[in-house]
Amino acid sequence: MSDKNAERLRNIDTCAVSDALDALGLKGTVMGLGSISVLKRIAGRVQTVKLGEASPDIPKKHLCSSAVDAAEPGDVIVVENHATDIAAGWGGILSTAAAAKGLSGTIVDGPARDADESRDVDFPVFARAATPFTARGRIAEHDWNIQIDVGGVAVNPGDLVLADGSGVVFVPKAFEAEIIDKAEEIQAKEAAMAAAVKEGKPVSDVMGGDYENMLVNK
């Protein structure tokens, strides 16, 4: 089944969506998450995973595997990995499985590993850092399909997410139509401004007046 809002979001960049969130007084922009494999724009519905410290009380299973199995084509796996600065919250076999299912990508709020393997299967992974350290004995999956925290933003299963070379933005499901409408409006204004510059209008005029007033509702 086609997800029209996810498709619309895929045609916008994160900067326009971040501006739309600002204009609407909503939170959703996250800094510091970058591509560690193939850099391409990804957008889709969120499937969440929460990682934490390893403990004998936590049943042993491979982290993120349940979320990958449950995800639908086009979805994005989003992982909260705050318990460690070194251990990977995602790896190459998971990327291979996710790519085979047609998922759009993975975003890890923390380290991830096997960047080369992810690149080999053309699967986008965004993370705080690349690492060779294993999760074994360091972190474990505490839960999945629940609300998580990514860079101070509350992220829920079924929200939309967009990631590209500038960063990551989350679009809360309750406001997605309004946010996407505003982002498309902003992107159209920016395209018109770029066209004006190409046609010879002084950039100082474009950036001094048009740009500063771009978020003002008219």
| CB of 151 closer than 8 Å to CB of 134 | no
Average pLDDT score over residue span 164-169: 98
Is pLDDT at 210 greater than 90 in this prediction? no
Is pLDDT at 81 greater than 90 in this prediction? yes
Is pLDDT at 136 greater than 90 in this prediction? yes
What is the reported pTM?
0.94
**How would residue 172 be classed by pLDDT, with cut points 50, 70 and 90?**
very high
Alpha helix (H) ranges present in 39-132? 65-70, 92-101, 115-120
Neighbours of 73 (CB within 10 A): 10
Q: Which one of 1.10.600.10, 3.30.200.20, 3.30.710.10, 3.50.30.40 gives the CATH number of domain 4-173?
A: 3.50.30.40
Query: What's the mean pLDDT when you consider all of the chain?
Result: 94
**How would residue 24 be classed by pLDDT, with cut points 50, 70 and 90?**
very high
- Structure-token match 């969506």, residue found: 17
Residue 45 pLDDT: 98
